[in-house]
């Protein structure tokens, strides 16, 4: 049986950078270290950090109650309000926001100051999108799909700046932008989808189109992994979304000759290697 592992599978630059920053705090022996939200959407990594004494703050209320300590801002970034709250409280801030997300914060803030309406293409429930929204001083809209793009209603000639969640599906982004561009606004489009995301999606689609079964590895709450699964499922009906190798135990792959493997940006290499090394046992 042939197994094809995607070259782009696993940690992206921004995620690796954020995870490394947290483990640096562990190695230094520093106490009272927190992350605002899980550092990445991967239960194995978050669990390991919790065992090493890194605590997760899930809400603004928890942050407000914190009297001292170090807070690591995860790769998804946070809103201006959260950042300023940490500064007021005198907490040590380690900003591990992905530089590509930081760029969107600057675009959103500058566009808002000019009076533009900022349109963010992405999932409104995703922490990255919530963070971007929080850097807008003026009107801001989140558009998740083509239907919401069709329903977007602003005055003709409204100056609009369109950006995207870094992990959004590139083809869907283009479709949404096309719909908005026909509405007669004074639109400026900035494609802020991360290059690594585009490359990962293109490679996943290519592999899925030529294998009998496709395995997508990543946390259940990982937006970019969910999008990889959607892309692969369209090309290969036998596509499986797993978090670790043990999730394959109940699958039946008796007639499979070729298997493809890809993984989301929050998936550690050791999990990918375990699946890649042992997948033949399950097929």
Q: For residue range 145-196, what is the model confidence (pLDDT) as tens digits?
A: 999 999 999 999 999 999 999 989 888 999 999 999 999 999 999 999 998 8
Of the pLDDT bands very low, low, confident and very high (cuts 50, 70, 90), residue 251 is: low
Whether 2-10+196-282 and 13-97 share one fold: the answer is no
pLDDT at 250: 52
Average pLDDT, the chain: 92
Say if residue 283's pLDDT is above 80.
Answer: no
CA dist list (Å): 133 to 28, 146, 149, 199, 230: 34, 20, 17, 26, 26
CATH topology of domain 100-193: Cobalt-precorrin-4 Transmethylase; domain 1 (3.40.1010)
Residues in CB range of 188: below 8 A, 6 or more apart = 111, 116, 159, 160, 161, 162
Query: What's the CATH number for 13-97?
Result: 3.40.50.11270
Active site residue 144: no
Residues 6+ apart with CB under 8 A from 64: 85, 89
State how far the Cα of 239 lies from the Cα of 187, in Å rounded to an integer.
38
What is the number of other CB atoms lying within 10 angstroms of the CB of residue 196?
Answer: 19
Domain ranges of the chain: 2-10+196-282, 13-97, 100-193
Q: How far is CA 250 from CA 18, 101, 246, 282, in A?
A: 34, 38, 9, 9
Q: Name the catalytic one among 128, 206, 230, 250.
A: 128
**pLDDT value at position 80?**
95
- Reported as a single tens digit per residue, the pLDDT across 106-149 is 999 999 999 999 999 999 999 999 999 999 999 999 999 999 99
| Arithmetic mean of pLDDT, 233-239 | 95
Whether 219 has a pLDDT exceeding 90, the answer reads no
Query: Could you tell me which CATH number the domain at 2-10+196-282 has?
Result: 3.40.1010.20
Asked whether the CA dihedral 228, 233, 236, 241 is positive or negative, the reply is positive
């Amino acid at each position: 049986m042939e197994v094809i592992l995607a070259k782009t599978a696993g940690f992206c630059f921004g995620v690796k950078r954020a995870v490394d920053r947290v483990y640096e705090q562990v190695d230094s022996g520093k106490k009272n270290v927190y992350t605002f939200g899980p550092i990445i959407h991967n239960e194995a990594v978050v669990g390991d950090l919790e065992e090493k004494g890194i605590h997760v703050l899930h809400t603004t209320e928890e942050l407000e109650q914190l009297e001292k300590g170090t807070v690591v801002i995860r790769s998804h970034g946070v809103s201006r309000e959260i950042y300023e709250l940490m500064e007021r409280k005198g907490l040590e801030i380690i900003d591990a926001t992905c530089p590509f997300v930081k760029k969107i914060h600057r675009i959103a803030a500058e566009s808002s100051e000019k009076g533009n309406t900022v349109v963010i293409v992405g999932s409104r429930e995703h922490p990255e999108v919530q963070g971007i929204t929080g850097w807008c001083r003026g009107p801001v809209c989140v558009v998740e799909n083509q239907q919401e793009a069709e329903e977007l209603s602003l005055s003709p000639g409204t100056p609009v700046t369109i950006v995207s969640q870094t992990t959004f599906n590139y083809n869907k982004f283009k479709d949404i932008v096309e719909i908005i561009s026909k509405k007669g606004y004074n639109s400026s489009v900035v494609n802020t989808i991360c290059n690594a995301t585009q490359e990962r999606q293109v490679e996943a689609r290519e592999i899925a189109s030529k294998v009998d079964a496709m395995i997508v590895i990543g946390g259940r709450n990982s937006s970019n992994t969910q999008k990889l699964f959607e892309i692969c499922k369209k090309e290969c009906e036998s596509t499986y979304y797993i978090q670790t190798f043990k999730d394959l135990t109940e699958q039946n792959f008796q007639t499979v000759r070729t298997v493809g493997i890809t993984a989301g940006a929050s998936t550690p290499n050791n999990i990918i290697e375990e699946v890649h090394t042992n997948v033949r046992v399950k097929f």
